Amino acid sequence: MTSYAQKEIEFFGKITAASTHEMKNVLAIIKETSGLMEDLMTLSPETPMTLREKFQNTLSVIASQIKRGAEISDRLNRFAHSTDVPVANIDLYTAAEQITALAQRFARLKQVDLKLDPPALPMTVAVRPVRLLMTLFGCIECCLNRLPAGAHVRVATREKNSGFEISFICQGDFSCLPDLSQGIATDSRWTDLKQMAASLGGAIELGAADPCIRLYLPEPTA
């Protein structure tokens, strides 16, 4: 990567991180204001019950969306900070959780359920954080682009040999797709994914017995 390309990525991360921090401040102010409104409603016994209920329902929706907005902002902030260093020791499940959450909108648009299985133990890899996230997202995207509405993608991490494996398991009614694995293999992104996996020191393959993408990454050497 050229020095300019690296500086562009760092610039992207810096601006995004600062903007998401500001978004969190906005959400905090809205939360504080809605809390004040709720207190005022409680302290005003003359307010009609029907109006009070409408206010309470509205404030409940506001609180729910504040929480959702804060979670999205936090995830985006962590994503932006992935550009801070070129190589780092990354917890594989944390990275998978982060990109699975950020990919939920893409899954909803395809009407595909995207879930992440909890890990049995911590798994650390030494990689370029941005490239790892790009590779994980690319695997999810390949699945989403080939799956019918109502299908499921289950992301699971596990130890394998002297490293770790992340599986992107496709589940559902594939009767309308003659060969899901073959479809993924012919996707233009598949070659890019294999190259990115190799640049991370790992490898990527399609499941032989079931529709699945498996990404293998080595454990950091001491």
Tokens representing residue 147 in the block: 């799956």
Residues 68 and 174 in one domain: no
Q: What's the rounded mean pLDDT across residues 55-75?
A: 81
Angle at 102 between CA 101 and CA 103, to 5 degrees: 90
Residues 70 and 118 in one domain: no
Overall pTM > 0.85: no
The residue type at 33:
T
Tens-place pLDDT, residues 79-114: 888 888 888 999 999 999 999 988 998 999 999 999
Label residue 164 exposed, middle or buried (CB < 10 Å: 0-12, 13-18, 19+): buried
139 has a pLDDT exceeding 80: yes
Tokens representing residue 202 in the block: 């790992």
Boundaries of domain holding 181: 88-218
CA–CA separation, 92 vs 106, rounded Å?
21
Which domain CATH number covers 149? 3.30.565.10
Tens-place pLDDT, residues 18-63: 777 778 888 888 888 777 777 766 666 666 667 677 777 777 888 8
Residues 72 and 124 in one domain: no
Q: How many CB atoms lie within 10 A of CB 163?
A: 17
Residues 22 and 114 in one domain: no
Q: Report the Cα 98 to chain-centroid distance in Å.
A: 4
Which ranges in 43-172 belong to alpha helices (H)?
Answer: 49-81, 92-102, 104-110, 129-146
